[in-house]
Structures are given as C-alpha cells and as structure tokens.
Copies of this chain bind each other. A is one copy, B any other.
C-alpha cells in the first residue's frame, strides 16, 4: 500500500521542505488559531448568549475538518499506531473527541479547550525558522544554558522553601500565611516580583524578611538574564564565523565579510546559509 500518492501526502503533511508542505503548515496553523479563537470566545457569557448557535456550527465545522486531517495523517504515516500514541497524535485526538462526546454526555463540550494544546504545533512551524538562521541561535543558546539554569532553579527553590517556612512561623495564620505551601507560594510571587498583594506580610519582622527577599530577588533576576545573554552572544559569534581564511587561517569573520579583515585575502564563497 506504499503508493506514490501516500508518499507525496506524507511529505506534504509531515515535512516542511516542499512548497506544498510549507503551505499546508501555514494553513493548518491558521485553522488552529481560528478554532482556538472560537473556543476562547465561546467561553465569554455575553458572546455565548448572542452567537451561541453560530459558534456551535463553527465548532462542528472545525471538528470535521480536523477529523479529516487526522484520518489523512493516519493513512499516510508509515506506522499509524506509533503516530496515534505519540504526543502530537494524542493531542490531535483530544482536540476533536470532546465535540463527539458532547452528543452522548452534555457537559463534555467544555473540554474542547484542550484544542488549545494544538497551538503547540506553532513550535513545529518554528522548526522551519531554524533554517532561516535567526530562530536557530535562540534555540541553541537556550539548550546550552540548560545546565546553568537547572543549578539556578535549585537555588531559587531552596530560597523559596526556607523563606516560605520562616514566614509561616513569623506571620502566623492570622495574616493569610495559613500553611507552609501557601507561604512558599507567596515567596514565589514575591521573588519573581509579580506581587499580587492577595497575601502580604503585616508584622514588622515579616516585612523585614520580605524586604530582604525582594532585594535578593532583584539580584537573582540578573542571573538567568546573564546566562542567556552570554550564550546568545557566544552562539552569535560562532555563527558569524565558520570559514577559515585562505591567507592567514583566521576563522572569525562577520556574516557579510568578503575579504579577511586581518590579511585582506578573498574569503571562499560559503554555500549560502542565508537564503
């Protein structure tokens, strides 16, 4: 059954290197955006009251369209079982199932919001961007920062647990710090400088500890920014430079360099990385 028709369909749906494949991705992303917008709008009481029936029709149209897409995917993929049990395969099913379930169970429709997870496909389209060059350096920099950011998160969590526990002891249950988990939640809200104000220290020692936490948070905020900036800068420099000069061997040239900036020799033409 590995007909050329199936192969072509597979290439269009799952690859991003053909004209048709790219068009398919863009159209799919717009459909997902529109369907998510419909679900989002339907949750507003005023809009549901007025446009309810129309949105119901739209919902069924998108469900049928995505069902068709799902069937096409299963029919052209080499191993349908493997796709159906993959992350994107499950998200695909979850994004159409609630509409069908709503025929049997009345409330199931509200699960349609699971469709929002289909938005994650945007990352697949961003993969296209990787070859454009700009997006790639971002992804590489974030991957390289992973280890340092893990260390950083461990430190942040330790701070948050200790300060949260201390605040539970200091403030007591009367001021909203009713349990240690709530106090830890407050510490996260404060350290990240979000500061809702639904829970706030009322006692003098509590406010002093909070002040210290805030100023620490201020300095701590600097660390992930520093990490990402340095990695981005390093990736940027590495990408600027991958051709050795035939004259002196130096390999750090700007992306737009034609001659070596040290010895003036003409650089070999690179097989155009930026289309």
B259 touches A264 (CB 8 A): yes
Contacting B at CB under 8 A, from A41-79, are 41, 43-45
Secondary structure at the A interface, as helix, strand, loop or mixed, is helix
Copies of this chain present in the complex amount to 4
CB-nearest residue of chain B relative to A168? B43
* A162, B227: Cα distance in complex, Å: 27
Partner of A215 from B39, B126, B153, B232 at Cβ < 8 Å: B153
Is A40 touching B221 in the complex (CB atoms < 8 A)? Answer: no
- A200 and B196 within 8 A (CB): yes
Q: Does A262 sit at the interface, judged by CB under 8 A?
A: yes
**CB-based contact A180/B224 at 8 Å:** no
Answer yes or no: A102 CB below 8 A from chain B CBs: no
Taking CB as reference atom, which chain B residue is nearest A29? B154
Known interface pairs A189-B195, A192-B215; A135-B151 also in contact (CB < 8 Å): yes
Interface residues on chain A, number (Cβ under 8 Å): 96
A73 to B274, CA, bound (A): 39
Q: Which residues in B have their C-beta under 8 angstroms from that of A225?
A: 221-222, 225-226, 228-229
Q: Which of A252-275 contact B (CB under 8 A)?
A: 253-254, 256-266, 274
Contacting residues, chain B, for A142 (C-beta < 8 A): 223
A149, A155, A192: most-surrounded residue (chain B CB, <10 A) = A192
Chain B residues closer than 8 Å to A137, beta-carbon distance: 148
- Chain B neighbourhood of A238, CB < 8 A: 274
3 A-B pairs closest in CB distance:
A259-B264, A194-B195, A196-B197
Q: List 29 A-B contacts (CB under 8 A).
A: A39-B180, A40-B184, A43-B180, A110-B169, A113-B180, A116-B162, A120-B162, A134-B147, A135-B148, A138-B151, A138-B227, A141-B226, A181-B207, A182-B207, A188-B211, A189-B195, A190-B194, A192-B214, A194-B194, A194-B195, A195-B196, A196-B197, A227-B232, A229-B230, A230-B236, A256-B261, A258-B261, A258-B264, A261-B261
